[in-house]
Amino acid sequence: MTRRLLLSTALELFEARGYAGTTVDDIARAAGTTRVTFYAYFPSRAALMKALVAELDELLARRDTEPQAAPDLVAVVRRGSRDGIEAWLRDTSRQWPRTRPYVLAAHEAAVVDPELRELVNHWFDGVVADIEAGLEQAGRFAPESRRMRGFLALTQLDQLARHWMRHGWETDSATAVGLLADSWTHLLGAAGPQDA
């Protein structure tokens, strides 16, 4: 119960003040406990942030124990249809309100803490690897281009998500997701060019 309270309190404070602007004492005080109690559950603020990233994985149904952390993404990329890609992107964007505080806190923490930077980079690389696996299973595009295609596709999604998380939609969501689906289809889809 106390661990859960510390996590939820920290997430609220990270959202309100930012990761860099929130201390262990701030978290403990807002949770109605002490610094000693905080350290009984987490050896550092970074360790607490790692636990929040693990919660984010659960929200996104990502599984690090599987060959692919996101088998649904692998399957969508393998099939390569624009409709499937757009549906996956639309479903993903619907999760943004729930994942917003986690994503923004993780990205801010990655800027100030090298250990968390490595964790966020590992998470990003895992998603790129899932996209690459889908392309490999489909036998689509030159093998040496698959990882870069995954990197470019995920970078677009990540930037759109973080922009929305800070500013909302600057156009309607269907238009934004549709444009992103067009780009992903060109980069990853069955109808795209077959040579890298």
Same domain, 37 and 105: no
Count structural domains, the chain: 2
**CATH code: domain of residue 17:** 1.10.10.60
Nearest in space to 92 (alpha carbons), one of 64, 131, 121: 131
Same domain, 62 and 147: yes
Same domain, 73 and 142: yes
184, 85 in Cβ contact below 8 A? yes
Same domain, 39 and 110: no
Same domain, 6 and 23: yes
| pLDDT tens, per residue, the chain with 196 residues | 899 999 999 999 999 999 999 999 999 999 999 999 999 999 999 999 999 999 988 887 766 545 556 889 999 999 999 999 999 999 999 999 999 999 999 999 999 999 999 989 998 999 999 999 999 999 999 999 999 999 999 999 999 999 999 898 888 899 999 999 999 999 999 854 443 3
169, 176 in Cβ contact below 8 A? yes
pTM of the model: 0.85
**CATH code: domain of residue 93:** 1.10.357
Q: Give the range of the structural domain holding residue 19, as residue numbers without chain letter.
A: 1-43
pLDDT confidence of residue 146: 97
Same domain, 83 and 125: yes
Same domain, 109 and 18: no
Q: Is residue 35 situated within a structural domain?
A: yes
C-alpha distance across the termini of the chain, in Å: 52
Q: Is residue 194 situated within a structural domain?
A: no
Nearest in space to 52 (alpha carbons), one of 93, 109, 97, 129: 109
Q: Is residue 155 situated within a structural domain?
A: yes
Same domain, 105 and 166: yes
Same domain, 14 and 51: no
Same domain, 31 and 123: no
160, 177 in Cβ contact below 8 A? no
Q: Is residue 193 situated within a structural domain?
A: no
Same domain, 163 and 89: yes
Same domain, 12 and 80: no
